[in-house]
């Protein structure tokens, strides 16, 4: 059996309790633990809305038996950490589905570029609705994973996903309701800000394009309205540590300008072994 790289087993995270509650993890599946922690601290209620920005959809479930296993663990934090570390896929693709089945996450709005054969049943949207995947959990609660565009800049403005008066009214309603209740979390994977060459090579966007997205009206619209934010570094999906750190530098600068919080120094220190150049 091929040995799993040590950095892939890291499910630790940092928590910045500031004007916004910001969690930073190395591997994206650790967001599962971050959201549980945010629930425990009363930053989020059950069935929170997830606003997911990622190169990949991360909406799969390879092993159905994981559903029963997480039921038996419930809120035992150390066992949950071991569950995430050793049972969830190291490709970081099933943590959203599991979080929905757990009741931590309700619905999700997803901005991603790559995602096929997703979990649940596909439902066609239409003019006022949005394409989505749907499934019912064990309590018969319906969860929706809205398949939105791959463009952050398409979130606002004329015919913007969250601002248009006529189209995508289902997404607009679920977003506004959960933001008003302060029950929404912004989840960002740094690999969204990369270029890809047939999925074989990946490298960071150039600084000008990265700034264009981060300082766009769309990203500001989301960031300003979210109280809880999770950020996944995912260096292996960013093209390596150098590429990941260059993206982190820009994201950290953006956050510092917005709320005067520097997340880079502590992040690099926390994950020094995994982010070594």
Among residues 104, 113, 93, the alpha carbon closest in space to that of 29 is found at 93
Gap between the Cα atoms of 21 and 7, Å rounded: 25
CA-wise closest residue to 252 among 178, 185, 188: 188
Strand partners, 17: 21
Q: Which residue has the higher pLDDT, 199 or 9?
A: 9
pLDDT in tens, 185-208: 999 999 999 998 866 788 999 999
pTM: 0.96
Say if residue 1's pLDDT is above 50.
no
Q: Work out the percent of the chain whose per-residue pLDDT is above 70.
A: 97
Measured CA distances, 235 to 98, 243, 271 (Å):
23, 7, 11
Other beta carbons less than 10 A from residue 95's beta carbon: 26
Q: How far, in Å, CA of 97 to CA of 120, rounded? A: 9
Q: What is the pLDDT of residues 34-53, one digit of tens each?
A: 999 999 999 999 999 999 99
């Amino acid at each position: 059996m091929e040995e799993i790289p040590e950095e892939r087993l890291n499910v630790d995270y940092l928590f910045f309790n500031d004007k916004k509650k910001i969690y930073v993890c190395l591997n994206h599946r650790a967001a599962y633990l971050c959201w549980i922690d945010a629930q425990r601290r009363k930053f989020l209620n059950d069935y929170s809305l997830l606003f997911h920005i990622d190169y990949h959809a991360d909406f799969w479930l390879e092993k159905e038996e994981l559903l029963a296993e997480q039921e038996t663990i419930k809120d035992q934090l150390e066992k949950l950490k071991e569950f995430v570390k050793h049972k969830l896929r190291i490709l970081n693709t099933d943590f959203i589905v599991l979080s929905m089945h757990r009741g931590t996450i309700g619905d999700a709005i997803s901005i991603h570029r790559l995602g096929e054969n997703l979990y649940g049943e596909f439902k066609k949207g239409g003019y006022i609705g949005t394409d989505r995947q749907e499934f019912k959990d064990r309590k018969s609660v319906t969860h929706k994973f809205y398949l939105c565009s791959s463009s952050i800049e398409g979130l606002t403005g004329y015919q913007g996903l969250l601002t248009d008066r006529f189209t995508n009214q289902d997404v607009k309603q679920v977003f506004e309701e959960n933001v008003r209740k302060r029950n929404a979390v912004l989840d960002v994977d740094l690999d969204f800000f990369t270029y890809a060459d047939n999925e074989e090579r990946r490298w960071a966007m150039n600084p000008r394009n990265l700034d264009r997205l981060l300082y766009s009206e769309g990203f500001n619209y989301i960031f300003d309205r979210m109280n809880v934010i999770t950020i996944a570094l995912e260096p292996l999906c960013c093209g390596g540590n150098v590429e990941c750190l260059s993206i982190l530098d820009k994201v950290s600068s953006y956050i510092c300008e917005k709320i005067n919080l520097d997340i880079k120094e502590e992040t690099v220190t926390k994950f020094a072994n995994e982010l070594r150049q």
